[in-house]
């Protein structure tokens, strides 16, 4: 047998030697190469030796003649024979690798599926060789246009082959054009620390450095025995994209390939992959773990982790991909909720993008977008993730100063993280201070981003207590007066949100903000101060407002401190602790605290609404004054009673600036307890008179009331002197304002005197000298009913109504001159007149209603009722009706008449 086999091989040898042309040599090779290779499995060493000699000769002939074709198809069949010895298959694939590239393109395309089939179960190096043959062919493959038609590749039953092919394709797509694998020096550098990775890790172990995203092994198998030129590599990559477009493998397996290809430096490859990605965008499930895990793996490479078991061999370790690829992967991670939840891969991507050696502004921007995505999606229970994100963002904020837009994104991300994981921020007051300080230094755009971040962070501090709360108060106080309006705005927001509504210190800071020159600051502060918190937002155990004694004592303390600092404010010759706007808000807020402590619930600052609280305030003020000696009613340190402090603040502001609401507050508190409070004003009569001469009508009216309250508590002689002086002042024709104030003061003074006397001594008659003086005063007021000045006429009507409300008018019932009848006729005539103002009509109606109140036997009650009903107008009917109720209250016997009049009037109207 040995002789026969050797003889046959010798004849083949001779035929090869006698082949003179390429055609003859090709025929002999096609006929005899496959059976000759089979002889390599012979048990006879002589036969195997003869075959090797033949193959060596054949190789020399083939290499010098590149156009000679080999029987590739037969060799592929022989290579796949499961009975073939490994020695045979090892040599068979050598000739497949030589012959396949020599085939025509159409024949290569025809045999391409067979290459994949032949890979099954073969050693890794041989599989790599077959894939290296297959990849260039994919560019020329023709695929059916309709999915229903048979595909050239049938891969559904070969999952292992598909995975090998996809891995190889990914390495091809990652391969840089013109890359040369340089071997490291023969003496390697010292090894890197355990677990280290990066550009020097491979060389440190005596291996060449692979390109980004690849391992040393991956580079070697892509290069193969014959490295592709840049143009060939471009075609290979286009062929892979084309293969993916034809849906030869499941799309979920190839998403990462398209993403990598879309980052290619060659326009043709990147464009083709981008178009394919866009066409599949709506059908790709970006929350598929298979897709996301592959993206993270290619992005990060084989990073050694403590949680991993066995470490990857250095030759097989993949490096992280290039920055160019990372910038293509991140936008797709932004589409995935799962990507934001994959810990620790997500934080590794974040730190690489923020602080990696090869990062750039675009990658930084994408990474910060990914941080925003994580903050919105990740579970709020993942404390390690949140802590690392916060540390990374603060590190970036502290170190990065190049692009303001990126800084803005970083600040905004911190804000979103605080909303997601407030527990990370609660005890970190220093971070708030850092952001406040940055707002004072950064440009306007960055300042706005910090403001937004702090606005989101404020919710993390709503439950502060003890020392932390005190630190926050000091922090807000330090920044609520800064020059930058955004700083003041956000400091105000912290004051509103972090502290309970009855927290005295924060309310003081809000009062400072309420006097801010910028409306966006002052308006928000005023709204916060004047709105009672809802039950949902009110903190447990807190009250809607501070108590009056606490708040007024705190204000006094701060006012005294500010008067010693440059913060004081000078108005003319007066020095105020606050600017007028702030001071005005302070006294009005103190009045709200007073009303609240007295039991009122309204926070309105309308004078009409404020008057409704007077009875409650009166009882509360009296209780404070009655316990003046007890510690509970005094401010800290046993100082003055809170009522006196409140009055002193009102006088201080009123003297320097004025203000009708301030004047009302002072009048209110003095009126409710005149016996104890008016002595403080005995030496301030001239000051009150000055307020009665101001150019504001409402101020003069309130000052006249205050003057009446103070003077009415004086002794008889002083009272008579005051009345006489006022009567004299009413005749001062040089100043209508002075006359106006005197008329009103005269009416209020007489009214209070008569009311007081009637309540204290109801049975005793008024002393004759006082009665004469009152009659003179009443006639003096009545003389202005026909004044040419509407201002004085209104004052006279008001003053007469005040006297009539409290006592009998000391003028004749009828007859000539100024009588009760002429007064009623005068007032009734004004109501329907078209020449009179609305205020005049209102005061006339009011006075008519008051007349029977102070005089139960007023002789012209029926005339008043009938006259009012006859002069009813739609615009004033309600006011008329209300006044008539006063009349009915005093004159019950006229009720039937009143009802009949109302019915007749309503039927007409």
Token readout for 479 is: 């920044």
Give yes or no for residue 186 having a pLDDT over 70: no
- Token output for 178: 């013109």
Q: Is the pTM of the predicted complex or chain greater than 0.85?
A: no
The token pair that represents 877 in the structure block: 């009917």
| DSSP labels, 25-49 | HHHHHHHHHHHHHHGGG-S-HHHHH
Helical ranges in 427-547 per DSSP H? 429-441, 444-457, 466-479, 485-498, 504-514, 519-530
- Do residues 527 and 516 touch, judged by C-beta distance below 8 A? no
Using CA atoms, how far apart are residues 643 and 549, in angstroms rounded to an integer? 8
Average pLDDT over residues 881-886: 54
pLDDT value of position 597: 92
- For the stretch 564-588, pLDDT in tens is 999 899 988 889 999 999 999 999 9
| Close Cβ partners of 675 (under 8 Å, ≥ 6 residues apart) | 713
pLDDT in the model for residue 14: 63
User: Higher confidence at residue 413 or residue 25?
Assistant: 413
- For residue 148, the model assigns a pLDDT of 56
Q: Using CA atoms, how far apart are residues 104 and 118, in angstroms rounded to an integer?
A: 20
Arithmetic mean of pLDDT, 364-371: 95
pLDDT surpasses 70 at 429: yes
> Quick one: average pLDDT of 483-488?
92
Res. 304 pLDDT band, cuts 50 70 90: low
Q: What is the pLDDT of residue 564?
A: 92
| Cα–Cα dist 212/358, whole Å | 11
Q: Residue 65: which pLDDT band, with cuts at 50, 70 and 90?
A: confident
211-235 pLDDT per residue, tens? 999 999 999 999 988 889 999 999 9
Mean pLDDT of the chain, nearest integer: 84
- Residue in the block written with tokens 């809607």: 544
User: Taking 80 as the threshold, does the pLDDT of residue 467 lie above it?
Assistant: yes
Percent of the chain clearing pLDDT 70 (strictly above) = 86
Handedness of CA 528, 530, 535, 540 (dihedral sign): positive
Both tokens of residue 425?
Answer: 């921020």
Question: What tokens were used for 715?
Answer: 């002794």
Predicted local distance difference test score (pLDDT) of residue 875: 45
Q: Is the pLDDT of residue 638 over 80?
A: no
The arithmetic mean of pLDDT across residues 453-468, rounded, is 92
With cut-offs at 50, 70 and 90, classify the pLDDT of residue 506: very high
Per-residue pLDDT band at 183 (split at 50, 70, 90): low
pLDDT mean over 201-205: 53
The pLDDT tens digits of the residues spanning 251-291 come to 888 999 999 999 999 999 999 999 999 998 888 999 999 99
What does the pLDDT read at residue 150? 62
What is the Cα Rg of the chain in Å?
50
The answer to whether 480 and 438 are in contact (CB under 8 A) is no
- Output 205 or 735, whichever has higher pLDDT: 735
Does the structure show a pLDDT above 70 at 668?
Answer: yes
Pairwise CA distance, residues 326 & 341, whole Å: 19
783-827 tens-digit pLDDT: 999 888 999 999 999 999 999 999 889 899 888 889 999 999 999
Range from 37-46, 498-507, 818-827 carrying the lowest mean pLDDT:
37-46
* Domain chopping of the chain, boundaries: 285-305+312-454
349 or 84: which carries more pLDDT confidence? 349
Q: Distance from CA of residue 826 to its chain's centroid?
A: 65
pLDDT tens, residue by residue, 586-633: 999 999 999 999 988 777 777 777 888 888 998 999 999 887 654 444
pLDDT at 268: 94
Higher pLDDT, 807 or 637: 807
Any idea which of 37-41, 522-526, 792-796 has the lowest mean pLDDT? 37-41
At residue 437, the pLDDT reads 93
Closest C-alpha to 346, from 306, 313, 300: 300
Higher per-residue confidence, 715 vs 451: 451
Interaxial angle between packed helices 861-870 and 895-908, expressed in degrees from 0 to 180 and rounded to the nearest 10: 10
Q: Residue 596: CB partners within 8 Å, gap ≥ 6?
A: 544, 545, 548
Q: How confident is the model at residue 771 (pLDDT cuts 50, 70, 90)?
A: confident
Give pLDDT tens digits for 825-838.
999 999 888 888 88
pLDDT score of 667 more than 90: yes
CB 460 within 8 A of CB 417: no
Query: Is the pLDDT assigned to residue 902 strictly greater than 80?
Result: no
Mean pLDDT of 190-209: 50
Tokens in use for 875? 């615009």
Residues 238-250 have a mean pLDDT of 89
The pLDDT value given to residue 250: 84
pLDDT of residue 539: 65
> For the residues of 411-433, what is the DSSP string, one character each?
HHHHHHHHHH-GGGTTT-HHHHH
User: Does residue 637 surpass a pLDDT of 50?
Assistant: no
Q: What is the pLDDT of residue 69?
A: 85
pLDDT (0 to 100) of residue 180: 87
What percentage of the chain carries pLDDT values higher than 90?
A: 47
User: Where does the pLDDT of residue 451 fall: very low under 50, low under 70, confident under 90, or very high at 90 and above?
Assistant: very high
SS (H, E, C) 105-136: HHHHHHHHHHHHHHHCCCCHHHHHHHHHHHHH
- Measure the CA–CA gap between 367 and 389, rounded to whole angstroms: 12
Residue 641, pLDDT > 60, answer: yes
Least confident range of 151-155, 185-189, 641-645: 185-189
636 pLDDT more than 60: no
Q: Calculate mean pLDDT across residues 501-513.
A: 94
* Interval 237-256 mean pLDDT: 90
């Amino acid at each position: 047998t040995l002789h026969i086999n050797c003889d046959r091989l010798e004849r083949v040898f001779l035929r090869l030697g006698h082949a003179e042309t390429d055609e003859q040599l090709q025929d002999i090779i096609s006929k005899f190469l496959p059976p000759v290779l089979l002889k390599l499995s012979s048990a006879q060493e002589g036969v195997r030796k003869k075959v090797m000699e033949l193959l060596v000769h054949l190789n020399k002939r083939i290499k010098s003649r590149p156009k000679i074709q080999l029987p590739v198809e037969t060799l592929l069949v022989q290579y796949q024979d499961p009975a073939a010895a490994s020695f045979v298959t090892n040599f068979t694939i050598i000739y497949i690798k030589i012959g396949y590239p020599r085939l025509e393109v159409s024949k290569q395309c025809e045999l391409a599926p067979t290459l994949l089939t032949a890979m099954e179960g073969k050693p890794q190096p041989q599989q790599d060789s077959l894939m290296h043959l297959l990849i260039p062919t994919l560019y020329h493959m023709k695929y059916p246009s309709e999915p229903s038609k048979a595909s050239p590749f049938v891969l559904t039953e070969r999952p292992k082959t598909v995975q090998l092919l996809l891995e190889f394709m990914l390495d091809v797509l990652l391969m840089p054009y013109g890359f040369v694998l340089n071997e490291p020096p023969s003496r390697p550098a010292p090894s890197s620390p355990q677990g280290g990775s990066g550009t020097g890790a491979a060389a440190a172990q005596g291996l060449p450095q692979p390109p980004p995203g690849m391992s040393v092994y991956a580079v070697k198998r892509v290069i193969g025995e014959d490295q592709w030129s840049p143009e060939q590599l471009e075609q290979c990559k286009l062929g892979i994209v084309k293969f993916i477009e034809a849906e030869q493998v499941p799309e979920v397996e190839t998403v990462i390939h398209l993403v990598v290809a879309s980052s290619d430096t060659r326009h043709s490859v990147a464009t083709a992959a981008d178009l394919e990605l866009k066409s599949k965008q709506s059908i790709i499930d970006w929350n598929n773990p298979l897709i996301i895990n592959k993206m993270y793996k290619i992005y990060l490479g084989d990073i050694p982790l403590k949680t991993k078991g066995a470490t990857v061999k250095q030759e097989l370790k993949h490096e992280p991909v290039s920055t160019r690829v990372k910038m293509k992967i991140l936008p797709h991670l932004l589409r995935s909720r799962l990507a934001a939840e994959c810990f620790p891969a997500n934080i590794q991507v974040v730190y690489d993008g923020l602080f990696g050696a090869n990062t750039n502004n675009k990658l930084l921007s994408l990474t910060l977008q990914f941080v925003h995505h994580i903050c919105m999606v990740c579970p709020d229970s993942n404390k390690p993730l949140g802590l690392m994100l916060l540390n990374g963002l603060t590190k970036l904020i502290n170190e990065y100063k190049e692009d303001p837009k990126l800084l803005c994104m970083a600040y905004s991300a911190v804000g979103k993280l605080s909303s997601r994981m407030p527990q990370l921020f609660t005890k970190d007051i220093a971070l708030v201070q850092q952001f406040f300080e940055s707002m004072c230094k950064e440009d306007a755009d960055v300042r706005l981003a910090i403001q937004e971040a702090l606005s989101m962070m404020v919710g993390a501090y709503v439950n502060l207590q003890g020392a932390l709360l005190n630190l926050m108060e000091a922090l807000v106080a330090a920044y609520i007066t800064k020059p930058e309006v955004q700083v003041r705005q956000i400091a105000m927001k912290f004051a509103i949100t972090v502290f309970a509504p009855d927290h005295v210190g924060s309310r003081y800071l809000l009062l400072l903000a309420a006097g801010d020159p910028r409306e966006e600051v002052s308006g928000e502060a005023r709204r916060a101060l004047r709105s009672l918190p809802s039950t949902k937002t009110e903190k447990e155990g807190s009250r809607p407002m501070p108590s009056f004694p606490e708040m007024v004592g705190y204000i006094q303390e701060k006012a005294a401190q500010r008067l010693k600092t440059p913060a004081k404010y000078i108005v003319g010759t007066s020095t105020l602790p606050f600017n007028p706007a702030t001071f005005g808000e302070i006294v009005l807020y103190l009045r709200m605290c007073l009303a609240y402590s007295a039991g009122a619930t309204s926070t309105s600052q309308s004078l009409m609404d404020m008057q409704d609280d007077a009875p409650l305030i009166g009882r509360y003020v009296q209780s404070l004054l009655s316990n003046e000696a007890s510690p509970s009613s005094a401010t800290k340190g046993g100082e003055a009673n809170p009522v006196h402090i409140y009055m002193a603040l009102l006088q201080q502001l009123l003297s320097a600036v004025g203000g009708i609401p301030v004047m009302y507050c002072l009048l209110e508190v003095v009126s409710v307890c005149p016996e104890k409070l008016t002595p403080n004003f005995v030496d301030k009569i001239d000051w009150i008179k000055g307020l009665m001469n101001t150019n504001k009508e409402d101020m003069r009216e309130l000052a006249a009331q205050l003057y009446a309250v103070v003077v009415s508590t004086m002794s008889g002689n002083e009272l008579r002197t005051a009345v006489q002086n006022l009567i004299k002042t009413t005749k001062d024709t040089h100043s209508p304002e002075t006359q106006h104030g005197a008329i009103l003061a005269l009416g209020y003074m007489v009214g209070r005197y008569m009311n007081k006397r009637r309540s204290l001594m109801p049975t005793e008659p008024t002393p004759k000298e006082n009665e004469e003086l009152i009659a003179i005063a009443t006639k003096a007021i009545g003389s202005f009913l026909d004044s040419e000045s509407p201002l004085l006429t209104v004052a006279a009507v008001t003053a007469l109504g005040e006297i009539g409300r409290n006592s009998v008018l000391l003028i004749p019932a009828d007859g000539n001159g100024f009588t009760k009848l002429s007064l009623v006729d005068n007032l009734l005539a004004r109501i329907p007149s078209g020449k009179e103002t609305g205020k005049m009509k209102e005061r006339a109606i009011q006075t008519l209603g008051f007349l029977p109140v102070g005089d139960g036997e007023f002789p012209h009650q029926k005339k008043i009722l009938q006259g009012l009903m006859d002069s009813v107008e739609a615009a004033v009917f309600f006011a008329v009706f209300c006044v008539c109720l006063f009349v009915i209250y005093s004159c019950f016997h006229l009720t039937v008449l009143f009802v009949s009049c109302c019915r007749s009037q309503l039927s007409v109207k």
